[in-house]
Amino acid sequence: MTEPPRPNDRDSIDELLRGIVERSASTGPDAPRERLPRRVRWALLGAGAAFVLLLFVPAVARRVTDWMWYREIGFERVFLTKIVAQWILGGIAGVIAFVIFYGNVRLALRSQTTALVASPSQPRRRPATLTERFVRVLALPGTGMLALLFALGAATEWRTLLQFLYRTPFGTADPIFGRDIGYYVFVLPLLEAILGYAVLAGMLTLACVWAVYSARGAIRRREWRVRLEPSARRHLTILGALLLVVFAAQIPLIAIPHLLYSVHSSLVGANYTDLHARLPAWWAVSGLMLFAGAYLLWRAWKGRLTRSAAIVVAGTVVLSLLIGRAYPASFHRLVVQPNELTREAPQIVRHIEATRAAWGLAGVERRELEGGSALTQRDIDANRATIANVRLWDREPLLQTFGQIQSIRTYYDFVAVDDDRYRIGGELRQVMLSARELNTAALPTRTFINEHLTFTHGMGITLGPSNQVTAEGLPVLFIQDLPPVSRIGVKVSRPQIYFGELSNDFILAPSRQREFDYPAGEGDEAVYSSYDGTAGVPVASFARRLLFAWRFGSLNILLSRDLTERTRIIYHRDVRERARRALPFLTLDRDPYLVIADDGTLKWILDAYTMTARYPYSQRATDGTNYMRNSVKIVIDAYNGDVQAYQTDDTDPIIRTLARIYPGLLRPIAQMPADLRAHVRYPEDLFRMQTALYATYHMSDPQTFYHREDQWQVPGSARGDQAEAFLRHMVMRLPGEQEPEFILMRPFTPRQKDNLAAWMVARNDGEQYGRLLVYQFPRQSLVFGPTQIVNRINQDTEVARQISLWDQRGSEVIRGELLVIPIEESLIYVQPLYLRAEGGRIPELKRVIVAHESRVVMEESLEAGLARLFGGEGQLLAQRDAAEPTPTRSTPPAAAIDEVVRRAVLHYERARAAQRADDWATYGEEMRLLGETLRQIQGEGDSRP
């Protein structure tokens, strides 16, 4: 049996389209109309309305509520600038794209075509097929939809366009082409976007035109060959030629400037091969592409498209590969590699200078230390402010302790602990504080009323000194409990925290439901309050309730009877999210910190950065960033949610450009209240990057840099977190300075070695804010580094015995971070030891290890450790007690007999500790010293009148 003939694919398509065309013809104006049943019509109408609602209403609700939020915080310009710029840019791009797409499609539809089924020498006209008629119907809506998608994509470049229009020069030229750095930061991105979308438009136009000619039969496939009619060939050739011209333009306008960002083994930026081989090669490739495009246009204009055109295109591709890739690779291997250091030395110098300038390292001040000098008791006494502020409480153990002793209720959480400094008793003291925030996920009953109307805010803070401990091993607290009680001059007058690090859901306040403020007394007693701040958007009208109900997917907003005319909906309460939405053009530091203002209100301060990945010759971070400035400080009120942005760097061209785009949005730093300026600090994220880079880029000599002869590294942390290792704020007196100050410090060791090479500080106070200093030890001196000190601590028999004894009793020993404390020309190391009972959750500070040079001691307090290490414990104890800020713990100047009594108690406690540790040698020595002290007491008593 013979198989019946199978229909041709084109015949199947024609039959399908014929049915569509006939159906559409039957419903024309002259055809009789058959009305659908009413139920069907209503069903179709309802389905269409539902589709519109699901597609457009959520977007409209979000956009309108966003506008209300921006207006509430006074940042309407941010919202409107984006909307207007997107619509204008998208509209222009869409119109241009539609003209290109539709114009070329119409041209393809109107061109004369002939059927190629007959002999090529005798072409004949053919009637339009159904496929062609279908393409004509789709031409307008299809190209319109394509132009709309093109416009949506182009609208995303609105900020690139605005930064180009309001650009500010850097005042520094690149070393190769002599262009201002602003060209690469503001102009080059716009050129990339324009040429990129030009290529995209060309590709889409080619695809559309090819599809139209295929539908009309002007392009046919015969086995492996594709035959084109003359009109189709001419049209497609012109489009291809124009694409070649665009590719040719991309090389000098985009590819060649990008040489200054290229990454090589020894530097970032244009190296010797780029400048002497790749640069001229790419100019030649650009010329070849331009010639090929012009040749194709000329041949298309003359109507003589022969095989020579294809040969020209193929030759251009081959020559481009040979010239653009093979030649530079051969040049690098044969010319550069044998003499790489000599060839690359000028480029390495440019790379070092650009990296320092881009990352704010050009002004680092270097100071040489003598090194090798042993500390004495006199040095310790001269640096009493540093010793009195040594941070004995690590953030993690302190956070756990706060959570156990100060949470008060299970629905309160401490999210993070921040370092800060306050004037207490006339002295600069380092403190650690944490906000007591509300965690709605921990509420015993999670209902709409509880989560959004009643439990609306956190309450108060916990604040204590960084170096004091109670007799039970717990932190001393200056501000504690609910409501917050202060034992110092710093008071909290507005403890409610509506905006914080944990506030991530909307609330409705005030309402008919009372807001829980804090627990009081025993049992279920509580104090309630009502929000009287300015935050939030009013929801008095039905329309607004409907909008927000749709926005947050909560029907209760619309139906609740607890809302009043004064009720506001408060959302975006996470301070990082709030700042990110208010200033979306900035990058935020990961650690916001809380400050107590002079009036007792709580303020969040966030550091914000301007960044770019387009600074020529600069070293990149892992995310591609190669320029970074902390140009803005953001202040958010914890009660009202007010957002204030202060410009801190007037020399940063990026922030100056943004200030021109958003006039009046950024305030001068001089307008920041003085009580808040006293608490600004150098941001950790920026300092982390600067120290990581300076470990290599402190080297200025290209030969030394090339061989990495003097490369440093940040010493590794025992906890394995290299990024966070030895990066902490502290109060100390810098060598050569007279007064203590708040600094951010990080040490360096030589690469693959453990001894200390230098330490870097960022100053935080007053006019010195932002200054970077590096204190470098002589290379010929040996200063023990953190790893060596840790090894000595581990080898110390007293420390090992005590830790083993604790472990045998089932307790968990937590080793705190090893602290590097600069004192004059030398260092001491301090490591706290915490003990957590088996099954317990409260770490207690039990011992402090102090090390200097090769000596390691462990005592119950830092003062005792220093006394044992350097002598003079009596004087240290007297000074410690005199520095106690609270009346209950401080003592007036004592007579000699009182001092000797303290020494007796100290020796007695040490003897008891040695007895518990079975350290009988230490026990005998302490008992001997106790006897001498008691005899001294007897002598002092006999000498009294």
Residues 206, 239 contacting (CB under 8 angstroms): yes
Ranked by mean pLDDT, which of 197-201, 325-329, 868-872 comes out on top? 197-201
Share of the chain above pLDDT 70, in %: 84
| Residue 424 identity (one-letter amino acid) | I
For residue 447, give every residue at least 6 positions away whose Cβ sits within 8 Å of its Cβ, in sequence order, or none.
none
- DSSP letter at 119 equals -
CA distance 233 to 243: 15
What is the structure's pLDDT at 944? 43
Give me the sign of the Cα torsion angle 692, 693, 696, 700. negative
Total number of residues shown for the chain: 945
Look at residue 21 in the predicted model and tell me its pLDDT. Answer: 47
Give the model confidence (pLDDT) of 871-891 as tens digits: 754 444 444 444 444 333 333
Residue spans of alpha helices (H) in 809-919: 862-870, 873-882, 896-916
Cα angle 725-726-732, degrees, rounded to a multiple of 5: 165
pLDDT tens digits along 718-734: 555 555 678 889 999 99
Question: What pLDDT does residue 315 have?
Answer: 85
Q: Kindly report, residue by residue over 749-778, the tens digit of the pLDDT.
A: 999 898 999 999 999 998 999 999 999 998
Q: How far apart are CA 333 and CA 327, in angstroms?
A: 10
Q: Residue 413 and residue 402: Cα distance in Å, rounded?
A: 9
- Tokens encoding 601: 């209100």
Give the integer Cα–Cα distance in Å for 738 and 749: 28
In which band, very low, low, confident or very high, does the pLDDT at 892 lie, cut at 50, 70 and 90? very low
pLDDT-derived band at 273 (thresholds 50, 70, 90) equals very high
Q: Which of 119-123, 361-365, 406-410 has the highest mean pLDDT?
A: 361-365
| Residues sharing a CB contact under 8 Å with residue 22, sequence separation 6 or more, in sequence order | none
Residue with the two structure tokens 């500010």: 168
User: Which tokens hold the place of 772?
Assistant: 């970077």
Note the pLDDT tens digit of each residue in 310-363. Answer: 788 888 888 888 898 899 999 999 999 999 999 999 999 999 999 999 999 999
Residue with tokens 């580094």: 785
Torsion of CA 863, 869, 872, 877, to 10 degrees: 10
CA–CA dist 858, 866 (Å, integer): 9
Long-range contacts of 542-547 (CB under 8 A, 24+ apart): 544/68, 547/61, 547/64, 547/65
User: DSSP label at 257?
Assistant: G
Instruction: Match 């600067």 to its residue by tokens.
Output: 690
Separation of alpha carbons 932 and 319, rounded Å? 96
**Residue 30 pLDDT more than 50?**
no
Rounded to the nearest 5 degrees, what angle is found at the Cα of 77, between the Cα atoms of 74 and 83? 130
Inform me whether the pLDDT recorded for 535 exceeds 90.
yes
Average pLDDT for 130-147: 84
What count of other Cβ atoms lies within 10 Å of the Cβ of residue 831? 24
pLDDT at position 242, please? Answer: 93
From the list 730, 733, 38, the residue with the least C-alpha distance to 391 is 730
Assigned token pair, 650: 């007037």
Structure tokens belonging to residue 350: 């440019």
Give the C-alpha separation, 537 to 506, whole Å. 11
Give the pLDDT band of residue 613 (cuts 50, 70, 90): very high
Decide if pLDDT at 717 tops 90: no
Contact 186, 657 (CB under 8 A): yes
Amino acid, single-letter form, for residue 435? A
State residue 732 phi and psi, 5-degree precision: -160, 165
Q: In the prediction, which pLDDT does 916 show?
A: 55
Tokens of 71: 């207006």
Cα(142)–Cα(699) distance, integer angstroms = 60
pLDDT at 33: 44
One DSSP character per residue, 543-609 reads HHHHHHHHHHT-THHHH-SS--TT-EEE---BHHHHHHHHSTTSEE-S--EEEE-TTS-EEEEEEEE
The identity of residue 28, as a single letter, is G
Residues 746/833, Cβ–Cβ less than 8 Å = no
Q: How far apart are CA 321 and CA 636, in angstroms?
A: 56
Determine the average pLDDT of the residues in 638-663. 96
Token representation of residue 457: 């805010």
The confidence band for 162, taking pLDDT boundaries of 50, 70 and 90, is very high
Radius of gyration of the chain (CA): 37
Q: Number of helices (H) and strands (E), helices first, in the chain?
A: 30, 32
pLDDT of residue 630 exceeding 80: yes
Average pLDDT over residues 194-201: 96
Can you tell me the mean pLDDT for 479-507?
93
pLDDT of residue 1: 43
Q: Are 337 and 343 in contact (CB under 8 A)?
A: no
> Using CA atoms, how far apart are residues 216 and 943, in angstroms rounded to an integer?
122
Three-state SS for 383?
Answer: coil
Q: Angle, to 10 degrees, between the axis of helix 130-155 and the axis of helix 9-26?
A: 80
| HSE value, Cβ hemisphere, 13 Å, CA-based, for 649 | 22
The whole-number pLDDT of residue 219 equals 79
Residue 512 φ then ψ, to 5°: -75, -15
Rounded to 5 degrees, φ, ψ at 154 are -65, -30
Confidence of residue 185 (pLDDT cuts 50, 70, 90): very high
Torsion angle in degrees (nearest 10) through CA of 149, 150, 151, 153: 90
Higher pLDDT, 468 or 37: 468
What does the DSSP assignment read for 124-181? B--PPPHHHHHHHHHHHHHHHHHHHHHHHHHHTTHHHHHHHHT----S-B-TTT--BH
Phi and psi, residue 928, nearest 5°: -65, -45
What does DSSP assign to residue 336? Answer: I
**CA quadruple 796, 798, 799, 803: dihedral positive or negative?**
positive
For the residues 783-787, what does the mean pLDDT come to?
A: 90
12: confidence class by pLDDT, cuts 50, 70, 90: low
How far is it, in rounded angstroms, from Cα 48 to Cα 41? 11
Average pLDDT over the chain reads 86
Q: How far apart are CA 558 and CA 566, in angstroms?
A: 15
